[in-house]
Amino acid sequence: MEESKDNLVRVTIYGQKYTVKGEAEASYITSVAKHVNDKMEEVENSLTTVQSPLRVAILASMNITDEFFSCNKDKDNFLRNVDEKAKFLVDIIDEELNEQI
């Protein structure tokens, strides 16, 4: 029987305490929770009026998702660029090898 490697980690997000169960290291789970908390506080500080915690959470999740999408787009562009350069270099090597034959 396989043993569960889940960690139980106590975190606080936006003043609420949660127990999070996950396979990741406790420090990673804590770091994720801190990031969510920081984003919620950032949203709260940017608003001109007091909003419900739910509204702050939704706006923070939209900001986090935007960052995620942006990172994925940057990664895809980077990989495409690397692929193009690799193909270019392979073509140059092939030309050089064909000239030597």
Looking at residue 99, its pLDDT comes to: 84
50-99 tens-digit pLDDT: 999 999 999 999 999 999 999 999 999 999 999 999 999 999 999 988 88
Q: Could you tell me which of 68, 69, 47, 65 has the C-alpha nearest to residue 56?
A: 47
**Residue 93: both structure tokens together:** 């090597």
Q: 101 falls in which pLDDT band (50, 70, 90)?
A: confident
Residue pair 42/60 in contact (Cβ under 8 Å)? The answer is yes
Query: What sign has the CA pseudo-torsion 54, 55, 57, 58?
Result: positive
Residue that has been written with the tokens 């702050």 in this structure? 56
Residue 2 pLDDT exceeds 60? no
Share of the chain above pLDDT 90, in %: 87
Q: Provide the phi-psi class of 84: left if phi over 0, else alpha when psi is between -120 and 50, else beta.
A: alpha
